[in-house]
């Protein structure tokens, strides 16, 4: 309305620009977190949907021993099946140039002519295999990149017991391997040692002894088809051909990971920005209400001259909206940038052919609404108080505040406390709410920092748990076929092997009542030391001699308790079905697995001393020789070198967590800084008059400084432990929200995180205090006297 009022607005904004910038920064942080995480979530979800649809990702998958091609027509005829594609699939040992240890290649057949009907490939480089040319393969992109392979390069592979040379003609992506892991217990990608190779059926089938036959089928469902029904029919059909149990997308490892990741993202995209927004709203409220409270006499004057409550309210609302609006714009821009970066980071292990980044208008609108509303509420609540007061009272210079001896002094501490201390205590006691708000504000900043750094803690903890406590072997060897215990002794005799512990890994379906899950049952030596059973709290459990041990998550999924019996359906060989008692449930943070004593498992499967592989402890000096030897051993399908996994984990997952956590921590720091800065600045403007009067009365600068900053210091000291507690609660909430079937974030907060969180807040306070004390030194004493009182 009035341009003079707007001029006042501009001047006021300019005069308290530091606070306005802090308010804007806080709003910007919250909006950045909200937009970045929200858009990443949407983008991932959108990419997944788009990719699966465009490249015809299958709905049901099944592996089997061997079936004649003629069976394909009967599979396609199952009611509900829209399309069916049979394939030949086998893991083969690879010799990759530049890699000491052997790698595993999953050789998948593709039609000789035309594109795959399901799980189509996106050619990224090179070309599709040419009909009639043998030994041409297309390599998966992650594998090719990790090993520096380009079209034209050659790799070795053991096919039917002989080394063959394969030529890479193209590099591709498949919706089946958005997340490229081997499966069967391997959870983190190891792109150097595992890759997918696609080759024409005409080449793959003879090489693997599968002419006129297939050992894998993918099926897509028609509209309204019942997945469980199709799976049952397929199992029935494939039973005679050594079917290993059909499964839907939920059990398809890449789909599972990607979907879990997206679900986790959705949880973090809600909770983390939620915490930020709550903190920002709270800060906006306190800062604005106190800022406006210091303008109370001006509100009174405006009212006295006939400005209406609406006009005054709108005036201060504009002030709030200007600051929040600036923050909003910055936040949306930064959020879009970081969201784009984060989406790119996800592409390191979730490979999509198209970079689909989506910042929806809806997300921006919601962010705007929330932040502007928070600012508006803060301003309105504060202005309400000021305009409701009769102008005569609002304009009166605040009379001598009513101090009295509070309970602390009545308890008799006053004798020993110096005058400044007593003034501080009285001030806190006089306005307990204000003190409580300041305290809560600081506690919230500490808590936000704890949350930020917690992600580092959790990942570090998981890495240590996985790679130091659980996987104590140096190398895990997988045999080409399960074999007798005798080969274990061979392994132990190889050069450099210090210790060898066999294991048996069996793909199985566990069911209880109507619930079932596909898992890999690991049979291990109870006395073994290379793969201890470790729970979340790092306690080591011994495998009981009988029965099966499930991770607690798996137990929950099946709804089974200790002592009850589950049905174990072996998904290979003779497909035995057995009842096994659950002997224990263990809290493992990663994956859902089942463990048994090796002998008990062998007995259960009626196989004397069969093993699938072994964990080895290796003398590092002999390692290269050993790896070279293992690579040339056809009986060894693959080996997993732990150190390599650690590094690949660090390069990929840890790297991405680092990026997102760094963003989070940066935001948390800004937020904390904004909170502390505003708290102290507002305290100064509220008390400037009082402090100047004290100076007039002869108090020294130091004494005045002590009175102002002492209060803040006292509140800071009280807020830090509260912030730690608040942060711990928030971490617990986040951990719970992001928990998926495959993965649980442990709630571990290191002392270092607590110290850093407290340190940043103390540092921010100290910096602000420094600036404020400079201002205290230049308090305009004359001004105080001029305005009466």
The footprint of other proteins (CB under 8 A) covers 1-5, 7-8, 11-12, 15, 297-298, 300-309, 390-393, 395, 397, 402, 780, 783, 786-789
Q: Closest separation between CB of residue 774 and other proteins, Å? A: 19
Q: For residues 15 and 539, which CB has a smaller minimum distance to other proteins in the complex?
A: 15
Q: Closest separation between CB of residue 299 and other proteins, Å? A: 10
Q: Is 456 exposed, middle or buried (0-12, 13-18, 19+ CB in 10 A)?
A: buried
Within 8 A by CB and 6+ apart from 146, the residues are 191, 192, 195, 648
State the CB neighbour count (10 A cutoff) for residue 4: 8
Closest CA to 219 of 228, 229, 202, 231: 231
Q: For residues 298 and 490, which CB has a smaller minimum distance to other proteins in the complex?
A: 298
Q: Closest separation between CB of residue 680 and other proteins, Å? A: 21
Q: Closest separation between CB of residue 695 and other proteins, Å? A: 18
Q: For residues 465 and 779, which CB has a smaller minimum distance to other proteins in the complex?
A: 779
Q: Closest separation between CB of residue 313 and other proteins, Å? A: 12
Q: For residues 404 and 514, which CB has a smaller minimum distance to other proteins in the complex?
A: 404
Q: For residues 537 and 786, which CB has a smaller minimum distance to other proteins in the complex?
A: 786
Cα distance between residue 106 and residue 173, in whole Å: 14
Within 8 A by CB and 6+ apart from 547, the residues are 580, 581, 582, 583, 584, 596, 600
589 token code pair: 């943070």
Task: Please report which helix (H) or strand (E) contains residue 594, including its range.
Answer: strand 594-597
Task: Please report which helix (H) or strand (E) contains residue 527, including its range.
Answer: none
Q: Closest separation between CB of residue 292 and other proteins, Å? A: 14
Annotate 353-422 with DSSP letters as a single string.
SS------HHHHHHHHHHHHHHHHHHHHHHHHHHHHS-HHHHHSPP--------HHHHTT-TTTS-HHHH
Beta strand 594-597 with 515-524 is parallel
State the CB neighbour count (10 A cutoff) for residue 654: 20
Q: Closest separation between CB of residue 435 and other proteins, Å? A: 21
Q: Closest separation between CB of residue 2 and other proteins, Å? A: 4
Cα distance between residue 630 and residue 636, in whole Å: 7
Q: For residues 700 and 787, which CB has a smaller minimum distance to other proteins in the complex?
A: 787
Closest CA to 684 of 663, 703, 707: 707
Closest CA to 123 of 52, 55, 195, 58: 55
Q: For residues 161 and 306, which CB has a smaller minimum distance to other proteins in the complex?
A: 306
Q: For residues 9 and 463, which CB has a smaller minimum distance to other proteins in the complex?
A: 9
SS3 465: helix
Q: Closest separation between CB of residue 396 and other proteins, Å? A: 8
Cα distance between residue 10 and residue 19, in whole Å: 14
- Please give the span between the terminal C-alpha atoms of the chain, in angstroms, as a whole number: 33
**What angle, rounded to 10 degrees, do the helices at 253-294 and 655-696 form?**
10
Cα distance between residue 5 and residue 313, in whole Å: 12
Q: For residues 55 and 307, which CB has a smaller minimum distance to other proteins in the complex?
A: 307
Q: Closest separation between CB of residue 392 and other proteins, Å? A: 4
Distances (CA, A) of 33 to 147, 358, 615: 35, 15, 43
Cα distance between residue 252 and residue 64, in whole Å: 16
User: Any idea of the CA torsion for 503, 506, 512, 513, to the nearest 10 degrees?
Assistant: -170
Closest CA to 497 of 335, 316, 676, 620: 620
CA angle 319, 783, 683 (to 5 degrees): 50
Q: Closest separation between CB of residue 11 and other proteins, Å? A: 4
DSSP state of 424: H
Q: Closest separation between CB of residue 305 and other proteins, Å? A: 5
90 token code pair: 């086998």
Q: Closest separation between CB of residue 463 and other proteins, Å? A: 56
Three state DSSP letters for 144-202: HHHCCCCCCCEEEEEECCEEEEEEEEEEEECHHHCCCCCCCCCCCCCCCCEEEEEEEHH
**Long-range contacts: 458-462, Cβ < 8 Å, 24+?**
458/735, 458/745, 458/746, 458/747, 458/748, 459/653, 459/654, 459/657, 459/661, 460/750, 461/746, 461/748, 462/589, 462/590, 462/745, 462/746
Q: For residues 292 and 761, which CB has a smaller minimum distance to other proteins in the complex?
A: 292
Q: For residues 250 and 783, which CB has a smaller minimum distance to other proteins in the complex?
A: 783
Q: For residues 568 and 779, which CB has a smaller minimum distance to other proteins in the complex?
A: 779
Q: For residues 391 and 573, which CB has a smaller minimum distance to other proteins in the complex?
A: 391
Q: For residues 73 and 407, which CB has a smaller minimum distance to other proteins in the complex?
A: 407
CA angle 304, 310, 314 (to 5 degrees): 110
Q: For residues 4 and 70, which CB has a smaller minimum distance to other proteins in the complex?
A: 4
Q: For residues 212 and 306, which CB has a smaller minimum distance to other proteins in the complex?
A: 306
Cα distance between residue 457 and residue 665, in whole Å: 13
Q: Closest separation between CB of residue 14 and other proteins, Å? A: 8
Q: Closest separation between CB of residue 297 and other proteins, Å? A: 6
Q: Closest separation between CB of residue 378 and other proteins, Å? A: 21
Q: For residues 114 and 397, which CB has a smaller minimum distance to other proteins in the complex?
A: 397
Q: Closest separation between CB of residue 397 and other proteins, Å? A: 6
Q: Closest separation between CB of residue 788 and other proteins, Å? A: 4
Q: For residues 130 and 304, which CB has a smaller minimum distance to other proteins in the complex?
A: 304
């Amino acid at each position: 309305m009035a341009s003079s009022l707007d001029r006042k607005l501009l001047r006021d904004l300019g005069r308290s620009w530091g606070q306005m910038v802090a308010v804007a920064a806080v709003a910007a942080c919250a909006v950045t977190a909200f937009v970045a995480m929200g858009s990443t979530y949407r983008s991932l979800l959108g990419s997944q949907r788009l990719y699966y649809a465009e490249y015809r990702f299958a709905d049901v998958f099944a592996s089997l021993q061997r079936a004649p091609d003629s069976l394909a027509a009967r599979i396609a005829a199952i009611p509900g099946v829209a399309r069916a594609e049979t394939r030949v699939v086998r893991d083969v040992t690879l010799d990759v140039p530049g890699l000491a240890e052997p790698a595993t290649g999953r050789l998948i057949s593709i039609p000789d002519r035309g594109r795959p009907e399901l799980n189509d490939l996106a050619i990224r480089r090179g070309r599709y295999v040419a009909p009639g040319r043998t030994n041409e393969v297309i390599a998966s992109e992650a594998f090719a990149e990790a090993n520096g392979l380009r079209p034209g390069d050659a790799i070795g592979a053991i096919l039917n017991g002989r080394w063959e040379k394969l030529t890479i003609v193209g590099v591709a992506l498949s919706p089946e391997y958005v997340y490229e892991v081997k499966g069967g217990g391997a959870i983190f990608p190891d792109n150097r040692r595992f890759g997918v190779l696609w080759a024409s059926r005409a080449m793959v089938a003879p090489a693997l002894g599968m002419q006129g036959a297939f050992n894998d089928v993918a099926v897509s469902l028609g509209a309204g088809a019942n997945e469980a029904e199709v799976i049952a029919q397929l199992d029935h059909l494939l039973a005679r051909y050594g079917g290993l149990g059909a499964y839907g997308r939920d059990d398809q490892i890449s789909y599972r990971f990607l979907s879990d990741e997206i679900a986790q993202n959705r949880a973090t995209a809600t909770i983390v920005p939620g915490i930020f927004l709550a903190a920002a709203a709270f800060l906006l409220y306190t800062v604005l209400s106190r800022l406006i409270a210091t303008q109370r006499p001006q509100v009174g004057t405006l009212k006295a001259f006939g400005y209406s409550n609406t006009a005054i309210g709108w005036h201060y609302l504009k002030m709030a909206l200007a600051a929040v609006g600036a923050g909003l714009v910055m936040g949306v821009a930064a959020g879009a940038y970081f969201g784009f970066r984060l989406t790119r980071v996800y592409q390191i292990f979730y490979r999509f052919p198209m970079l689909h980044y989506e910042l929806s208008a809806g997300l921006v609108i919601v962010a705007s609404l929330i932040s502007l509303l928070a600012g508006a509420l803060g301003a309105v609540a504060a202005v309400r108080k000021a305009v409701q007061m009769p102008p005569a009272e609002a304009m009166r210079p605040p009379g001598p505040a009513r101090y009295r001896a509070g309970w602390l002094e009545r308890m008799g501490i006053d004798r020993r406390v110096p005058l400044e201390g007593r003034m501080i205590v009285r001030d806190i006691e006089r306005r307990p709410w204000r003190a409580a708000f300041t305290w809560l504000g600081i506690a919230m900043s500490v808590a936000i920092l704890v949350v930020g750094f917690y992600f580092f803690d959790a990942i570090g903890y998981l890495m240590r748990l996985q790679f130091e406590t659980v996987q104590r072997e140096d190398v895990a060897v997988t045999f080409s076929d399960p074999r007798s215990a005798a080969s274990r002794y061979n392994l132990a005799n190889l050069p450099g092997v210090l210790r060898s512990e066999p294991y048996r890994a069996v793909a199985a379906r566990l069911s209880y009542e109507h619930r079932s899950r596909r898992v890999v049952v690991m049979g291990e030596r109870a006395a073994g030391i290379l793969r201890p059973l470790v729970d979340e709290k790092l306690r080591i459990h011994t495998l009981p001699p009988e029965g099966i041990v499930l991770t607690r998550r798996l137990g929950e999924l099946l709804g089974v308790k200790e002592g009850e019996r589950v049905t174990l359906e072996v998904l290979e060989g003779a497909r035995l079905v057995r009842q096994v008692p659950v002997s224990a449930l263990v809290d493992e943070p990663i994956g859902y697995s089942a463990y048994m004593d090796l002998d008990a498992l062998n007995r259960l499967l009626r196989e004397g001393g069969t093993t699938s592989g072994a964990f080895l402890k290796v003398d590092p000096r002999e390692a290269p020789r050993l790896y070279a030897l293992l690579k040339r051993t056809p009986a060894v399908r693959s080996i997993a070198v732990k150190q390599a996994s650690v590094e690949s984990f660090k390069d990929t997952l840890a790297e991405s967590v680092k990026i997102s956590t760094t963003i989070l921590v940066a935001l948390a720091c800004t937020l904390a800084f904004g909170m502390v800065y505003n708290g102290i600045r507002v305290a100064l403007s509220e008390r400037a008059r009082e402090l100047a009067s004290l100076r007039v009365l002869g108090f020294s600068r130091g004494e005045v400084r002590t009175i102002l900053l002492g209060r803040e210091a006292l509140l800071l000291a009280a807020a830090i432990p509260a912030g730690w507690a608040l942060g711990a609660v928030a971490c617990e909430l986040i951990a719970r929200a992001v928990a998926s079937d495959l993965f649980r974030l442990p709630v571990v907060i290191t002392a270092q995180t607590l110290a850093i969180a407290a340190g940043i807040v103390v540092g921010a306070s100290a910096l602000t205090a420094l600036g404020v004390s400079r201002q205290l030194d230049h308090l305009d004493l004359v001004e105080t006297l001029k305005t009466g009182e």
